[in-house]
Amino acid sequence: MRKNIVAGNWKMNTVLEEGVELASQVNDLLKETPAKCEVVICVPFTHLVSIKGVIDEPLKLGAENCSEHVKGAYTGEVSASMVKSTGASHVILGHSERRQYFGENNEMLLKKTRLALENGLTPIFCVGEVLEERENGTYNEVVKAQVEALFELTPEEFGKIIIAYEPVWAIGTGKTATSDQAQEMHAHIRKVIAQKYGVEIADNTSILYGGSCKPSNAKELFSKTDVDGGLIGGASLEAESFMGIVKAFD
């Protein structure tokens, strides 16, 4: 059966010292009160090695992106194998900020996903509609097309992916999707996966909700059948609030 997961996305926040401190705090809090879900922190590339040195099981570590290229003359890029070599186990791919500001498209994201999987990383693959698409009623088709971008993967490969549904209008805005809106979309995504890969793979795929999730609304969101946890931006930058969301599974 699928896992419940709470993953933090620190984005471009914290200098190294602050990041190491935050990761240590999360690690300590998890030791004090073991979580009833998997917990991952996805951090800037520059922090991966140092943070790996101060955390331990069960806390897992991820990057926020990786290159669509294997290696070579791509100045400034960081490959999936480099991420893996730091001890990270996860990588966020296709976050709406990367799609919007860095021109990431379906073709690139399929390449990134393949390289992540080839290197033993678990992709947290983000999908979600913008406000206009929510308002004009095309959101189901938009998200379906984003999920379908991965449909060249084999069933075995797809079975290793975590999906994060993040309505763009809810990211960092304080405007959360209602739990019913989240449930409706998560069920839709699961159906789209089932049509391609079958009910077993669809039922085993963790689908996380992201977008202004906080301790006060996490329990309600995670209570929905198809919501298997959260991808947390702002509220993951403070150990107590991040753990408040983790505790929604208690």
Active site residues: 95, 166
Buried b / exposed e along 35-71 (16+ C-beta atoms within 10 A) = bebbbbbbbbeebbeebbeebeeebbbbbbbbbbeee
Closest to ligand PEP by CB, 8 vs 190, is 8
Does 207 bind ligand PEP (CB under 6 A)? Our answer is no
Q: Quote the distance between the C-alpha of residue 173 and its chain's center.
A: 18
Q: Select the span of 23-31, 52-60, 220-228, 230-238 touching ligand PEP (CB under 6 A).
A: 230-238
Query: Which stretch, 47-55, 64-72, 127-135, 211-219, contacts ligand PEP (CB under 6 A)?
Result: 211-219
Rule CB under 6 A: choose which of 211, 226, 239, 249 binds ligand PEP.
211
Q: Is 9 in the site for ligand PEP (CB under 6 A)?
A: yes
CA distance 243 to 16: 21
Q: Distance between alpha carbon 241 and the CA centroid of its chain, in Å?
A: 18
8 binds ligand PEP (CB under 6 A): no
Amino acid at position 202, single letter: A
- Judged by CB under 6 A, does residue 166 bind ligand PEP? yes
CB-CB contact of 213 with 176 (8 Å): yes
Per CB under 6 A, 234 contacts ligand PEP? yes
Q: Which residues bind ligand PEP (CB under 6 A)?
A: 9, 166, 171-172, 210-213, 231-235
